[in-house]
Amino acid sequence: MLRRCNQAIQFALTCDSIKKITQRGKQMQQGGSSYPSCSSTSDCFSLTHLSAAQCGSENLSEPEKSEVRANNTSTELSRMRSLVMFYLSYLLCVCLGLSCVICVYVWNSQWLGGFSWDGSFLQFNWHPVLMVTGLVVVYGIAAVMYRIPLTWGQNKLPWKLLHAVLMLIALVLSVVGLCAVFDYHNAKNIPNVYSLHSWIGIVATALFAMQWAFGATAFLLPCSPLSLRKLLKPVHVWFGGSVVFLSIAACISGINEKLFFDLKENTTGSQHYRELPPEAVLGNALGVLIVAFGLVVLMILSNHKWQRPDSRTGDLAYAPLLQEENE
Ligand code: HEM
């Protein structure tokens, strides 16, 4: 009973909001201004599922009704355009991610001799493969997961859990990738953490581990207070983007370092890096793919229109876990 009353009140409030927004839209169009957070009413996905007819437009005159109909059509069109753009970007993101994984795997298996875990240089080969797969691709895919519109109408809890599990997989892959290189350095008496690459890499991984621990505590534990979730959400999103940025920087510097180490004249008879042998082309291409993947992930994360509607209105996203479970 209480629940039904609550739903009725929410519906009435939403209708009221639509009317206010429509009036405000008209005023702004006349004044040549735009909405503070959405470029048009149509961009606010969260409200578009309710038509004006549901909110009392039956009292409107015929010209006003046709204006409402025209508004609804342009709303739908704009919504469709935004959806198509999202799915194209998401497809691009997945294709780039897969290309990164294939590229780094082919480089290390075909050119660099394959993999083993015996302290030899073959153990080192795990490092780039696991770091790119974990800290770049799985992390990036998990970060944009909430933006998929298919997930919006559903209970948020399974998506929260999937987000956390994918992030945990990314973290485990990265830690194993770091163990591979530390183990290899120790076996060969090579000093640890001396390069700029390793400094950036350590910061990226440490930030990611803290981000995961704080995120799981604040957003998954039912006992964490609503006010804490509200406070931490923007911080969590900002640090999430920073980890993407730092891991790309780590990969680019690592690839460059590796190519300079390996492609020297008169060592293994291989060509010098500056002669651009096929291995260098592959390494450079991997770097370009990683940068492109990271830019698409950051573009999806920064597009306000593609945020989950309940995150934009700022209330449901912070509802305690058990409450969400029941909704
Ligand atoms: C997000 C991705 C990455 C992170 C966080 C990362 C992190 C690290 C860290 C912390 C070390 C130092 C290990 C030690 O001192 O014993 C290291 C070493 C190394 N990494 Fe990466 N790495 C990443 C990706 C890559 C990639 C894609 C390559 C490309 C081949 C690469 C190549 C190297 C090389 C050559 C070393 C040994 C030299 C050095 O210590 O700088 N890394 N990495």
Tell me the pLDDT of the chain averaged across its residues. Answer: 81
pLDDT at 310: 67
Kindly state whether residues 166 and 262 are assigned to the same domain: yes
Based on the fold, state whether residues 190 and 44 are members of the same structural domain.
no
Indicate if 258 and 219 belong to the same structural domain.
Answer: yes
pTM: 0.79
Residues having CB within 6 Å of any atom of ligand 1? 127-128, 131-132, 135, 178, 181-182, 185, 192-193, 195, 197-198, 201-202, 204-205, 247, 250-251, 254-255, 257-258, 261
Domain count along the chain: 2
pLDDT of residue 49: 40
Same domain for 189 and 52, yes or no, is no
From 49, 77, 105, give the residue that closes a domain.
77
44: containing domain: 2-77
Which residue's CA is the closest to the ligand 1 atom numbered 24?
251
Between CA 228 and CA 220 the distance in angstroms is 12
Q: Is the pLDDT of residue 308 over 90?
A: no
Q: Pick left, alpha or beta for residue 69 (phi over 0 → left; psi -120 to 50 → alpha; otherwise beta).
A: alpha
Asked whether the beta carbons of 308 and 146 are under 8 A apart, the reply is yes
- Nearest-atom number in ligand 1 for the CA of 184 is 16
Does the residue 211 lie in any domain? yes
Rounded to 5, what percent of the chain is helix, strand, coil?
A: 80, 0, 20
CATH number at residue 211: 1.20.120.1770
Which region among 23-37, 121-135, 214-228, 300-314 has the lowest average model confidence (pLDDT)? 23-37
C-alpha 263/C-alpha 253 separation (Å) is: 15
Task: Identify whether residues 216 and 285 lie together within a single domain.
Answer: yes
Same domain, 201 and 135: yes
> Is residue 197 in some structural domain?
yes
Residue 254 CA, ligand 1 centroid: distance in Å: 5
C-alpha dist (Å) from residue 121 to 114, 118, 187, 297: 9, 9, 10, 32
Question: CA-CA-CA-CA torsion for 294, 295, 296, 298, nearest 10 degrees?
Answer: 90
* Confidence check: pLDDT of 88 > 80: yes
CB 90 within 8 A of CB 144: yes
Q: Is residue 42 part of a domain?
A: yes
Same-domain status, 198 and 290: yes
Residue nearest to atom 8 of ligand 1 (CA): 198
Is residue 2 predicted with pLDDT exceeding 60?
no
Given ligand 1 and candidates 197, 199, 205, 248, which is best to mutate, with the most ligand atoms within 8 Å of its CB?
197
Neighbours of 222 (CB within 10 A): 10
pLDDT per residue over 242-294, tens digit each?
999 999 999 999 999 999 999 987 656 678 999 999 999 999 999 999 999 99
- CA dist 276 and 273 (Å) reads 5
Q: Is residue 60 part of a domain?
A: yes
Nearest Cα residue to atom 5 of ligand 1: 201
> With bands split at pLDDT 50, 70 and 90, how would you rate the model's confidence at 311?
low
Residue 82 placed within a domain: no
Residue 249 lies in a domain: yes
pLDDT tens digits, residue range 111-159? 999 999 999 999 999 999 999 999 999 999 999 998 998 888 778 889 9
- Residues 9, 137, single domain; the answer is no
The tokens 């981000």 sit on which residue? Answer: 211
In this predicted structure, the answer to whether residue 203 has a pLDDT above a threshold of 60 is yes
Distance of CA 216 from the midpoint of ligand 1 (Å): 27
Amino acid identity for residue 188 in this structure = K
Is 98 found in the same domain as 70? no
Indicate the residue among 31, 48, 77 that finishes a domain: 77
Mean pLDDT of 90-103: 98
Inside any domain, residue 142:
yes
Q: Are residues 110 and 155 in the same domain?
A: yes
Question: In Å, what is the CA distance from 224 to each residue of 77, 233, 318?
Answer: 40, 13, 10
Atom of ligand 1 nearest to the CA of 174: 5
C-beta separation of 100 from 296 below 8 A: no
Q: Is 104 in the same domain as 226? A: yes
CA of 68 to the centre of ligand 1 (A): 58
Burial 254-282 (b: 16+ CB within 10 A, else e): bbeebbeebbeeeeeebeebeeebebbeb
* 181 shares a domain with 46: no
How confident is residue 41, by pLDDT bands cut at 50, 70 and 90? very low
- The owner of tokens 């969400």 is 324
pLDDT computed for residue 299 by the predictor:
97
pLDDT value of position 62 = 81
Q: Which of 125, 127, 257 to mutate to test the pocket of ligand 1 (most atoms within 8 A of CB)?
A: 127
Binning pLDDT at 50, 70 and 90, where does residue 320 land?
very low
Asked whether residue 133 is assigned to any structural domain, the reply reads yes
- State which of 24, 59, 77 marks the end of a domain: 77
